[in-house]
Amino acid sequence: MSIVTWSFPTTIVFGNGSLTKLPDHVRRASGTRALVVCDPGVVRAGIAERVKRVLEGAGIAAAIFDRVAPNPVEENVFEGAAAFKAHGADVVVSVGGGAPLDTGKLIALRTTHERPLHEYDDAIGGDAHITSNVPPILTVPTTAGTGSEVGRSGVVTLKATGRKTVIFSPYLLAKAAILDPELTTSMPARVTAATGFDALTHNIEAYLSLGDHPMADGIALAGVELCAKYLQTAVENGADLEARGGMMKAAMMGAVAFQKGLGVCHSLAHPLSSEKDMHHGLANALCLPAVMDFNNITVPDRIERVRRVVDVTATSLSNAIRSLREKVGLPSGLGAEGVTKADIGKLADKAMEDACHRSNPRPCTREDMMKLYDVSL
Ligand SMILES: [Fe+2]
């Protein structure tokens, strides 16, 4: 039997109005001056100012840094680290979706780690250069999808290679994640649907992935159940705080669970974003049914268990997913988003290079990837 490590260390504060607890957790992490890392959307929604007021009301000086691109680049990290120093900050509070939450971690890293960023690339064992002296990070998500608030990695596109690079270390984990459903009510319906499908895909792929991790399995199944119960309501009535809260929990749980692994759906989705500029959650939603049918050959019992959680009346898990996708107003195939048969070869090449499919329960060849894209058109 192999030896495995299971770890769930982040403090998570959940509930309507839980933003008011942020200062307690900043202080608990010995923070006295905060750099609030966000993006222009978070500023426009008035949330950055709200976070600043909450911190300053408790005597914690806060400066806002909002120069984070939708797909973060290294300048965002360098400029953020400079802003941290200029403010004399000792703690990073990241607010927003995946991009600001990821970038906040890397800004914190940069303030004490001066090697070129590519040397920290997880793909080449860069985590060995990351030491414990990273300033404390707190996360305040405003979407419900990536789960970056409880993740231990940040993704950044490097200038030298033009590639999305993953920087990973346990020292990048937030000291606390503040999950306040009230901060997600302004998310538009389509974004709620697409990001919610990212959360659903994380939970399903984690549950099906290779590896011995019963804790992740339990969390993943409970996360699937929350998506099945709340995604449609969150899309149809954005002000429903119970549904918003359910989806925030599901997103966080998906990211906790996928430390076990993801699967081929994410390998198919990543090139759809980099090559076709498709929203990540939408890309997952469009590929997920075909992947479930593909995996059914190797893990039928697990697929059946997920089907019963998603929709006990559906004839298959792939049909249950198609039906949910339709109910939340997402398109029914990649063709509707401008993908054609001519794109499939290049997409399949890129999908093979992606690491996620290595933990898929059924091994994938390039031909399998081509077929999965084709069926998903
Ligand atoms: Fe994802």
Q: How far is the CA of 295 from the centre of ligand 1 (A)?
A: 18
Specify the 3-state DSSP secondary structure of 167. Answer: strand
Contact 250, 144 (CB under 8 A): yes
Q: Which residues pair with 155 in a beta bridge?
A: 166
Residue 23 confidence (pLDDT) above 80: yes
pLDDT of residue 7: 72
Task: Kindly report the number of other CB atoms within 10 A of residue 363's CB atom.
Answer: 11
> CA–CA separation, 366 vs 212, rounded Å?
27
pTM confidence score: 0.94
Average pLDDT over residues 165-187: 94
pLDDT of residue 97: 94
| Residue 110, pLDDT score | 98
Residue 155 DSSP label: E
| pLDDT of 163 strictly over 80 | no
Q: How far is the CA of 356 from the centre of ligand 1 (A)?
A: 10
Lowest mean pLDDT among 5-14, 134-143, 171-180, 357-366: 5-14
The confidence score (pLDDT) of residue 65 equals 98
What is the Å distance from ligand 1's center to 248 Cα?
14
All domains in the chain, ordered by first residue: 11-183 (3.40.50.1970), 187-376 (1.20.1090.10)
pLDDT score of 355: 87
Give, in degrees to the nearest 5, the angle at Cα 321 between 242 and 203: 60
Measured in angstroms, how far is the CA atom of residue 262 from the centroid of ligand 1? 9
Average pLDDT over residues 161-190: 92
pLDDT tier at 41 (50, 70, 90 boundaries)? Answer: very high
Mean pLDDT, the chain, integer: 95
Distance 282 CA to ligand 1 centre (A): 10
Task: Give the chain's end-to-end CA distance (angstroms, integer).
Answer: 42
Distance 254 CA to ligand 1 centre (A): 9
15-24, 159-168, 197-206: least confidently modelled range: 159-168
Give 297 Cα–ligand 1 centroid separation in angstroms: 23
Q: What burial letters (b/e) apply to 14-29, b meaning 16+ CB within 10 Å?
A: eeeebbebbbebbeeb
User: pLDDT value at position 4?
Assistant: 72
The model's pLDDT over 266-324, given as tens digits with 9 standing for 90+, comes to 999 999 988 898 999 999 999 999 999 999 999 999 999 999 999 999 999 999 999 99
| pLDDT surpasses 90 at 367 | yes
Q: State in Å: Cα 260 to ligand 1 middle.
A: 14
Q: What is the pLDDT of residues 183-219, one digit of tens each?
A: 999 999 999 999 999 999 999 999 999 999 999 999 9
CA of 91 to the centre of ligand 1 (A): 27
Å from CA of 89 to ligand 1 middle:
31
Q: What is the pLDDT of residue 277?
A: 86
373 sits in which H/E element: helix 366-376
Q: Report the pLDDT averaged over residues 15-41.
A: 97
Given this model, what pLDDT does residue 8 score?
Answer: 77
CA distances from 23 to 19, 76, 184 (A): 8, 25, 20
Length of the chain: 377
Report CA(28)–ligand 1 centroid distance (Å).
31
pLDDT digits (tens, 9 = 90+) for 219-273: 999 999 999 999 999 999 999 999 999 999 999 999 999 999 999 999 999 999 8
Query: One-letter amino acid identity for 325?
Result: R
> Tokens 């060995």 label which residue?
128
